[in-house]
Amino acid sequence: MIKCFVLVLSFRRIIVLSGDIKRFMNWLFPHKCIACSAEVDAYSTLCTRCFTEITFIDHPICRVCGRMFENQESYDQDEICDRCLETQQHFDMARSLMQHDSFSRRVIMRIKKATDYGIVKICAKRIYTKYPRLFDNIDYIIPVPSHWTRLLRRGNNPPDVIALKLADVSGIECRRLLRRIRRTEYQKDKSVVERAANVARAFVCNCEESIIAGKGIIIVDDVITTGATLNECAKVLKLAGAAIVKCVTVTSTRPSHKWYEPISSLS
């Protein structure tokens, strides 16, 4: 009995001490806001001021690609944007957490440079609570794959990290069901047509088609711009028999007139 009492006391002391050590370490190395470096209470989070700077995706949005419309006030409800009306979208729907702007770009850079995975956890939780129905009837969460040469050079594939965190919060299995078989050029500064051509036939199934057939799948990427990469991935999955293919990204860009012209014709 006495031994037990001493054991409980020692255990409590260890807990108290570990709390002291934690406070001391926080004092020595204070947590900083991931965007502005202001002091915050927890590791890898945003201060209150920066949090208000995030432009979260808000209705009305395109029912298919999930982008916010340019003139929000012109729309009473979610409709389908011109881009989705013009293009054969192989995915059933795409949804993003925030608007791609100078602020959210910093968040994406932290994920890309593998400097901070805490922010990925925050984003994954936010995505899950923002779109809980999106995860209905989904069997697998899969990342957009990198080519092995890019993976070797960069050291990580950002969609992998986001997909794993989304799998954690949703309880859905994360699998790498796609493989990038061709090293594609960066999509930046390419038009819609050039982007689609750049990623055409760049992906194949990384498994037996029977694993995909009839399944609900969410493809994960960091950003949706024209949607060409996600559309190509969705096409491969649908051809393999996937029943539902949805896409999730951390940020989404607003449509740009530049996409519709070859870059060579821009001044």
- Give the nearer residue to Zn ion in terms of CB position, either 6 or 80: 80
CB of 28 to Zn ion, least distance (A): 21
Sheet containing 93-99, strands listed edge to edge, beginning at the edge strand earlier in sequence: 93-99, 244-252, 216-224, 140-143, 173-174
Q: Which helix (H) or strand (E) segment is 251 a member of?
A: strand 244-252
- Kind of pairing between the strands at 178-180 and 203-205: antiparallel
* Start-to-end C-alpha separation, the chain: 84
Place of tokens 């029977």: 210
Q: Select 92 or 139, whichever has its Cβ closest to Zn ion.
A: 92
**Interface with Zn ion (CB under 5 A), residue from 26, 32, 33, 211:** 33
Rounded least distance, CB 171 to Zn ion, Å: 29
In this structure, the number of other CB atoms found within 10 A of the CB of residue 5 comes to: 9
Closest to Zn ion by CB, 182 vs 254, is 254
Among 47, 134, 233, 244, contact with Zn ion (rule: CB under 5 A): 47
Task: Answer yes or no whether residue 65 interacts with Zn ion by CB under 5 A.
Answer: yes
Q: Which range of residues in 76-84, 117-125, 132-140, 179-187 is near Zn ion by CB under 5 A? A: 76-84
CA distance 199 to 192: 11
- Taking the CA atoms of residue 91, residue 96, residue 101 and residue 104 in that order, the dihedral angle to the nearest 10 degrees is -130
Nearer to Zn ion, 93 or 244 (CB): 93
Query: Nearest distance from residue 196's CB to Zn ion, in Å?
Result: 15
What radius of gyration, in Å, describes the C-alpha atoms of the chain?
A: 22
3-state secondary structure of 205: strand
Q: Which of 44, 57, 61, 62 binds Zn ion (CB under 5 A)?
A: 62
Tell me the window of 6-14, 27-35, 162-170, 212-220 that interacts with Zn ion (CB under 5 A): 27-35
Which of residues 146 and 226 has its CB atom nearest to Zn ion in the complex?
226
**Per DSSP, what are the bridge partners of residue 141?**
174, 218
Nearer to Zn ion, 33 or 207 (CB): 33
Quote the least distance from Cβ 23 to Zn ion, whole Å.
22
Residues 169-208 touching Zn ion, rule: CB under 5 A, are none
Q: How far is the CB of 193 from Zn ion (least distance, A)?
A: 17
Give the list of residues 6+ apart from residue 157 with CB closer than 8 angstroms, or none.
Answer: 143, 145, 146, 150, 151
Q: Which of 64, 162, 192, 218 binds Zn ion (CB under 5 A)?
A: 64
Using CB under 5 A, which of the segments 82-90, 106-114, 170-178, 232-240 binds Zn ion? 82-90
Task: Give the position of tokens 């209150």.
Answer: 48
Encoding tokens for residue 253?
A: 């860009």
For residues 110 and 84, give the distance between their C-alpha atoms in angstroms, rounded to a whole number.
30
The residue ranges that bind Zn ion (CB under 5 A) are 33, 35-36, 38, 47, 50, 62, 64-65, 81, 84
